[in-house]
Amino acid sequence: MTRRCELTGKLPLSGQLRSHAENKTKRKFRPNLCDVTLISDTLGRSFRLRVSAHALKSVEHRGGLDAFLMKAGDEDLSERCLKMKRDIKKAVKGAVAA
């Protein structure tokens, strides 16, 4: 499993530790990933996702998983999240038509 946020697509970055003597040592900056269960109000079910703490705050700020997915770009989302986004669009479209 890659260390990748399913909602924002954040990946590990590489960089250097710099000592006082300016010695360079390779290191990784890994995203703060959390295993969380998020609930979709439109679909009426919950999903287990591996997201970064930053993405979790963004989901809360935008008003839930459904609102976050509808506003998010497709290039950042994982395949599972893209499927959830399509299902939410279908459910909203069906609710409007009824």
Q: Is residue 32 part of a domain?
A: yes
Residue 44 belongs to domain with CATH number: 2.30.170.40
pTM of the predicted structure, to 2 decimals: 0.86
pLDDT digits (tens, 9 = 90+) for 1-22: 689 999 999 999 999 999 999 9
16 HSE (CA, 13 A, CB side): 7
Quick check: 30 and 3 in contact, CB under 8 A? yes
- Give the chain's domain count: 1
Q: Looking at the domain assignment, is residue 86 inside a domain?
A: yes
Let me know if residue 19 belongs to a domain: yes
Question: Tokens for 17?
Answer: 């530790």
Residue 72, both tokens: 């998010």
Selection from 32, 75, 70 nearest residue 51 by Cα: 32
Q: What is the pLDDT of residues 54-93, one digit of tens each?
A: 999 999 999 999 999 999 999 999 999 999 999 999 999 9
